[in-house]
A and B are shown apart, each in its own frame.
Chain A
């Protein structure tokens, strides 16, 4: 699954815009991945200029 590293995230919302299935939203000014919608295409990890979205092992 994909998570956002809050320390690295600038809040620019590039990943929000690029997500093909609108699985990433800004909620209370934090970028959040909706794991129910995410299909793990990893586009967000490629486009982020700060490397904030990253793949993690399923909890």
Chain B
């Protein structure tokens, strides 16, 4: 019989690594299992940004003395590595007009504080796992967890070699497309929102004005984004679509050879390895618990709960497991504090909203010049934020204020907007379901 752990943690991303660190500090007999050999390596697309000095899932994170401080939840994490300040989110139209959320010009002069810090996420994960290991947590790398089953006194998870690991609890931090969530049957109750395919190329020698922001470029056949990377002049450009048959490569080439973007990349050279991600997007899970398995981060969410949105559940879940072990309630009741925390700070305020997302694609309705026109209506810089939900509400607020002007000047665009708005969501989702790869059960 193999060893019975207090808790097994699957996945060494920010959520799992944080859970392992907390489990170690709390004195639990714990193990963290990761399929990569190098915890520091990041192969999936990521902007690696931690939102700071603004509200995020009821937390207000700040960075001081080489630590990210989470004052509301009451913990800190060590990070002593490279960083880059980020001032917000810009939408860039085909002709180069910008709708600015956050002032990168004032920011780079030191006149505005950053709203995000770009970090080396691999280093962050490794730091957390090293701290866990120092506190006695076993670390198994090069191990793919492919199955899970509940026995009377424990949860058994199985790897690709056929080895079994036994734990009183399991924390599933295996990310978007979580295999454990699928195997436990969570997905049957979720709304399938589509298969989202995304890939990125990294470049050096890129010259972009107002670049210390995330840039979302509209008016292309797929979603094109530009994001700075840690070294100066390094950027990645990504192309993404809900249509898995779309030629992302061709559209990225078209983007990079169109002005003003071609000028930004005229001296650029592609470097390093390409990153990518394909996600089955499904609505967030309301109660992230089944058979003594707790889901954290993206495993129980939709996609991109973000680094902090993974770290905080990792922290909360590991503490709840500790309480369950102390009180002897090795069940749902024992980890009630985690489920309450998830419900209060993630699911009720945000998860419900995400579950009802999914709308007609702007690109199916608006032409490139329509998007150029719309962005020109709001030249004022909006208050900076990196909070996804704040970005959405900022866009909504700014453009609802100019609706009368659009109606007056461009009733044709107004009509398109109304047609897009009234297109039934069910039909959007049905289209994506037909085009996507729904492996939801």
**Chain A interface residues toward B at CB < 8 A:** 10-18, 20, 22, 25-29, 34, 43, 46-50
CB of B363 within 8 A of chain A? Answer: no
Complex contacts, A29 vs chain B, CB 8 Å: 36-38, 41, 142
CB of B223 within 8 A of chain A? Answer: no
Decide: A27 and B142 in contact? CB cutoff 8 A. Answer: yes
Bound-state CA distance A29–B276 (Å) is 15
Among B19-27, B118-126, B191-199, B285-293, the stretch that binds chain A is B191-199
Partner of B439, one of A12, A16, A43: A43
Partner of A27, one of B38, B160, B274, B276: B160
Chain B interface residue count, CB cutoff 8 Å, equals: 33
Residue of A nearest to B145 (CB): A22
Q: Given A22-B147, A27-B142, A49-B197, are A14 and B278 also a contact pair (CB < 8 Å)?
A: yes
A15, A34, A48, most chain B CB atoms within 10 A = A48
Q: What are 19 sample pairs from A and B whose C-beta atoms fall under 8 A apart?
A: A10-B199, A11-B41, A11-B43, A13-B44, A14-B278, A16-B35, A17-B280, A18-B280, A18-B439, A22-B144, A22-B160, A27-B144, A29-B36, A29-B37, A43-B437, A46-B244, A47-B278, A49-B197, A50-B276
Q: Given A22-B179, A49-B198, A50-B199, are A10 and B280 also a contact pair (CB < 8 Å)?
A: no
Complex contacts, A22 vs chain B, CB 8 Å: 144, 146-147, 160, 179
Complex contacts, B144 vs chain A, CB 8 Å: 16, 22, 25-27
How many residue pairs, one in A and one in B, have C-beta atoms under 8 Å apart? Answer: 86
Partner of A12, one of B244, B275, B280: B275
Residue of B nearest to A15 (CB): B278
Additional 6 contacts, C-beta under 8 A, given A13-B44, A25-B160, A49-B278: A10-B43, A11-B43, A16-B35, A18-B280, A25-B146, A27-B142
Q: How far is the CB of B157 from chain A (nearest CB, A)?
A: 12
CB of B177 within 8 A of chain A? Answer: yes
B37, B275, B278, most chain A CB atoms within 10 A = B278
CB of B248 within 8 A of chain A? Answer: yes
Complex contacts, A46 vs chain B, CB 8 Å: 244, 437
Residue of A nearest to B44 (CB): A12
Residue of A nearest to B176 (CB): A17
Closest 8 A-B residue pairs measured CB to CB?
A14-B278, A17-B177, A11-B43, A49-B199, A22-B146, A49-B276, A25-B160, A12-B276
In B100-153, the 8 Å CB interface with A consists of 142, 144, 146-147
Decide: A12 and B38 in contact? CB cutoff 8 A. Answer: no
CB of B277 within 8 A of chain A? Answer: yes
Decide: B160 and A12 in contact? CB cutoff 8 A. Answer: no
* Chain B positions 275 through 310: 1 when the CB is less than 8 Å from some CB of chain A, otherwise 0: 111111000000000000000000000000000000
Residue of A nearest to B278 (CB): A14
Decide: A48 and B142 in contact? CB cutoff 8 A. Answer: no
